[in-house]
Structure 1
Amino acid sequence: MIDTGDFWLLTILLGIGTFLIRFSFLGFLGGRELPEWLLLHLRYVGISVFPALVTPMLLWPAATGGETDWIRVAAGAIAFVAGMRISVIGAILSGMGAFYGLRAIESLL
C-alpha cells in the first residue's frame, strides 16, 4: 500500500492538476465568445461520455467475472432505443427496469 504522506501529496497534486485543467478552459475563455464550430463539438461531449462509461459494464462486467451477460446486453439495447426515442432519464429508467425485470424472469425459469 501507499505511505500516508505519499497519499496526501498525490491527492494534493491531483487536486491542483484538475483545478488547472478546469481553470485553463473556464478562466481563460470564460468571458469570451466561443467560435460556433467549437460549440458544435462541445454539444456532443456529454452524450459521448455516457456510452464510454456504460459499455465496459455491459460487455465485460465484473459481476460475471468478465463474461458477457445477455441480460445486460439486452437491457443496454433497450436503454439505447429508449434514449433515442425518449430522453437520457428515460434510457436510464428503462434500462434499469429491463435489467431487473429480465433478472426476475430468469430466476423464475
Structure 2
Amino acid sequence: MTTIDPTILWTVIIGLAIGSFGLRFAFIGLMANRTMPAWLMRHLRYTAVAIIPALVAPLVAWPTPTGGVTSLPHLLAAGVTLAVGLLSKNVLAAMAGGGATLFGLLYLFG
C-alpha cells in the first residue's frame, strides 16, 4: 500500500474546497439578486436529473464486485431500471424494478 504525502493531500483538498466554493459562489453570490435568462433556467432544470446517471453509469459499466469487468446482470438491471422509469415516470418504481432485477439475476447467476 502506498502512502500519500500529507502536503500533496492537503494541497489537493484545499484546492478542491476553493474550486467548489468558487462554483457555488458564482451562482449564489453573484446571481442572487438577478433574474436568470429563461434559456439558462430551462437548462438548469435538468442538472439534478443528469447527476444520478453520471454517478451510476461507471458502477454499471465497471462494477466493483466483478473487478471492473462488465457483467450481464448489471447491464440488464440498468436496462430494466431505464425501461420502468420511462414507462411509469416514477423514480421509486424504477429503482425498485432495477434493484429487484439485479438481486434476482445475481441470485440466479451467482
What TM-score do the two structures reach when normalised by structure 2? 0.82
| Root-mean-square deviation over aligned CA pairs | 1.8
Name which of 3, 7, 15 aligns with 2:9: 7
Unaligned stretches of 5+ in structure 1?
A: none
SS in 1 for 2:34: coil
Query: After TM superposition, what 4+ stretches of structure 1 lie above 6 angstroms from structure 2?
Result: none
1:16-62 CA-to-partner distances (Å, cap 9, x unmatched) read 22111110111111222111111111111222222222222212223
Provide the rounded CA distance (Å) in 1 between the counterparts of 2:68 and 2:15. 33
Q: Which residue of 1 aligns with 2:61?
A: 59
Q: Which residue of 1 aligns with 2:20?
A: 18
Name which of 86, 91, 95 aligns with 2:89: 86
1:48-106 CA-to-partner distances (Å, cap 9, x unmatched) read 22222222221222321332211111110111112212322322222111101221222
Name which of 95, 99, 103 aligns with 1:96: 99
1:9-48 superposed matches below 5 A = 9-48=11-50
What TM-score do the two structures reach when normalised by structure 1? 0.82
Identity fraction in percent: 36
Aligned residues: 107
Unaligned stretches of 5+ in structure 2?
A: none
